[in-house]
Each structure stands twice: as structure tokens, then as C-alpha cells.
């Protein structure tokens, strides 16, 4: 048991301090190359409420690819412990290695693929070149297609390589899906990706995602999936390093390179821990944020332009009501911790 705890916490602490270490170098690079939006969203919006709460100049001065700190830290630490087990083989180094085919190989490459795709998107917006600059509707549809393509690969691996054919229903047993596990994963991956709109306030996405991945570290530990628990915890440590610099005023934003990788790998972890139906509870802030956008869009389309919320996503609605952004952020953090704990409890007693 002691070795399991060391296996989880040692890489987590290392990922946190690695993130702190590389941030000054990354920040220098970001600012040197002006890696931020070239045009504020104010220029394309006619919503007066949004303009009142949104300082467009911040987007023109703040780098948007801070998520690279998260995935570089997490993947580097994972690769380090794997390399040590290969080049300095010993009983201890083999126990500390948590990159395994059955548990963490899929999340490792899922995070990498999603992060690289997100980085490509960020660079398109930063350099404002090509038909997809400005993050227009067409490009958003293509992003969803690309996410679905990644999810198709992962879902196929689950089915054909890992033999995953069912999902667990808390308090009700398993539901056999067979090959339908593949489209099921695609749907969940797209749903978690849609929650990426939570990256809209300083510190908001970092605090929420840290709670979610910490919850999955606990669930993996309770399932005796120690490799996956270590990987989830390492991501948590890397996110906390990002959050250290992302609290108001943010030194950088997470960007798609962080959001895309983290949200897709979250779907993979839900399937690997057999907690797919618990995911909406653990990730409730993502559900509420994404749901507010969907409801707002339907309302405006089918109710002659009438809005349910003053603004969507939900965090901007509370800002429009007069809440300071830091109050919105911290209350979302509180809700995230509460729902993460609730999800862990339900997963534990619903087996």
C-alpha cells in the first residue's frame, strides 16, 4: 500500500514542480512571439451585455496556449518514469512506472493527440491566417469532426484491443453494448469536449478540471487501477502548476491545446474506470456550462430570439448579473469539489 501511494504522489509532485519550472521559459516564448488573439471577440459580437463584462484588450495581450504547460509536464513525467524502468531496471523503478498497455497507454496518447490538435487550432487563431481564422462556425464543425475521428480510434481500441463491451450502471449492473461501445465513446467524447467552453475566466477551467481529475485518481485507486490513478494524479498536479499562474490576473489562458486534450482524455478515463454514467456528476460544472450554451441556442432559435440567460456560457451569465469574475470562479471551484466528492461516493457505493 505504501508503494502504491508513493507511485501516485511522487509523480504528482514532480509534475507540479516541473510545471512551475518550465512556466517562466514558456511565458518568455509566448510573449516574445505574441501568441495571443489578434482580434478581440468584441469586434464580432453585438451583445451589449457581453461587451459590458468583457475587456477585449486582455485577449490581445494574454497568450492563449498555456495548456502546453499541463500536457508537457504530465506526459514528460510519465515518460520519465517509464524510461527509468527501462534503462535502470529494478524492482522499485518497475513499480513506479505507470505507463501500461491496459490502463494508461490509451490516455497517454489521447492526451497527446488532443493537445496537438488543439495547439494547431490555437496557432490558426494566433496568426490569424487561413479560412478558419477567427474560430468561425465552419471551423467549429470541423473541430467536432476531428474530435469524433480521434474518439473513433480510441473507441475502436477499447473494443478490439481491450475487449470493452459494456458500461456499468450504478446500483443496476452492466449494460452490454458490444460494438456500440465505439459510438458511445464518440458521443461521450464530444460531450466532454463541448464542456471546454468553461475556459472563459481567469482560473476557472484550471480549478474545475483539477477537481475532476483528482476525483478520477480516487476512483482509479478504489478500482485498484494504480497506473491510471497515478496518471490521473499527475494530470492534476500539472493542472495545479498551470493554475498557479492562471489565477487573476492570468499570465496566460489554457487555450484549445489544453482544453481539447484534457476533455477527451477525461472521456477515456470514464470508460477505463467503468464510471461513464457517473461522469456527468463529477464533471457537473462542465455539464452546466455546456448545457447553458445549448439551451440558449435553442431558445433563441425557437423563441424568436428570446434568451434564457443574460449570457452564455453560464459563468458569463453570473457576471452579467453583477458578480465579480473572481466570485464566479471561486464558487465554481466549490461546486466542482462538491460534485467531485459526490461522484466518487456514488461510484463507490453503486458498484
Residue range 165-180: average pLDDT?
93
pLDDT digits (tens, 9 = 90+) for 108-134: 999 999 999 999 999 988 887 766 666
Tell me the C-alpha distance between 44 and 47, whole Å. Answer: 9
DSSP designation for 158:
I
Tell me the C-alpha distance between 63 and 119, whole Å. Answer: 12
Are the C-beta atoms of 334 and 207 separated by less than 8 Å?
no
The average confidence (pLDDT) of the chain is 90
pLDDT digits (tens, 9 = 90+) for 243-272: 999 988 889 999 999 999 999 999 999 999
Residue range 159-176: average pLDDT?
92
Strand stretches in the chain, DSSP E: 166-169, 173-176
pTM confidence score: 0.94
Residue range 284-301: average pLDDT?
93
Are the C-beta atoms of 145 and 291 separated by less than 8 Å?
no
> Residue 139 pLDDT > 80, yes or no?
no
Angle at 157 between CA 156 and CA 163, to 5 degrees: 95
The predicted structure's pLDDT at residue 273: 96
> Residue 193 pLDDT > 90, yes or no?
yes
The predicted structure's pLDDT at residue 58: 61
Amino acid at each position: 500500500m505504501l508503494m502504491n501511494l508513493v507511485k501516485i504522489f511522487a509523480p504528482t509532485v514532480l509534475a507540479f514542480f516541473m510545471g512551475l519550472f518550465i512556466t517562466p521559459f514558456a511565458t518568455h516564448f509566448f510573449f516574445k512571439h505574441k501568441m495571443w488573439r489578434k482580434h478581440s471577440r468584441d469586434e464580432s459580437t453585438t451583445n451589449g451585455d457581453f461587451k459590458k463584462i468583457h475587456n477585449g484588450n486582455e485577449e490581445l495581450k494574454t497568450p492563449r496556449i498555456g495548456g502546453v504547460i499541463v500536457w508537457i509536464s504530465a506526459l514528460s513525467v510519465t515518460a520519465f518514469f517509464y524510461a527509468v524502468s527501462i534503462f535502470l531496471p529494478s524492482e522499485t523503478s518497475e513499480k513506479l512506472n505507470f505507463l501500461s498497455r491496459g490502463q494508461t497507454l490509451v490516455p497517454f496518447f489521447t492526451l497527446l493527440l488532443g493537445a496537438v490538435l488543439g495547439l494547431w487550432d490555437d496557432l490558426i487563431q494566433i496568426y490569424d491566417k487561413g479560412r478558419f481564422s477567427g474560430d468561425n462556425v465552419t471551423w467549429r464543425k470541423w473541430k467536432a469532426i476531428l474530435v469524433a475521428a480521434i474518439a473513433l480510434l480510441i473507441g475502436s481500441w477499447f473494443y478490439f484491443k481491450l475487449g470493452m463491451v459494456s458500461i456499468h450502471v450504478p446500483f443496476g449492473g452492466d449494460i452490454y453494448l458490444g460494438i456500440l461501445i465505439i459510438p458511445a465513446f464518440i458521443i461521450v467524447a464530444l460531450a466532454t469536449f463541448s464542456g471546454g467552453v468553461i475556459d472563459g475566466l481567469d482560473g476557472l477551467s484550471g480549478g474545475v478540471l483539477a477537481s475532476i481529475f483528482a476525483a478520477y485518481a480516487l476512483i482509479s485507486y478504489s478500482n485498484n487501477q494504480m497506473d491510471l490513478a497515478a496518471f490521473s494524479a499527475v494530470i492534476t498536479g500539472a493542472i495545479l502548476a498551470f493554475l498557479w499562474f492562471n489565477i487573476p490576473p492570468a499570465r496566460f489562458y489554457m487555450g484549445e491545446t489544453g482544453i481539447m486534450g484534457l476533455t477527451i482524455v477525461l472521456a477515456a478515463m470514464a470508460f477505463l474506470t467503468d464510471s461513464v454514467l457517473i461522469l456527468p456528476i463529477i464533471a457537473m460544472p462542465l455539464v452546466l456550462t455546456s448545457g447553458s450554451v445549448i439551451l440558449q441556442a435553442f431558445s433563441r432559435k425557437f423563441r424568436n430570439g428570446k434568451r434564457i440567460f443574460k449570457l452564455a456560457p453560464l459563468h458569463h451569465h453570473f457576471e452579467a448579473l453583477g458578480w465579480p469574475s473572481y466570485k464566479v470562479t471561486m464558487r465554481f471551484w466549490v461546486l466542482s469539489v462538491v460534485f467531485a466528492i459526490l461522484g466518487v461516493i456514488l461510484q463507490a457505493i453503486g458498484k
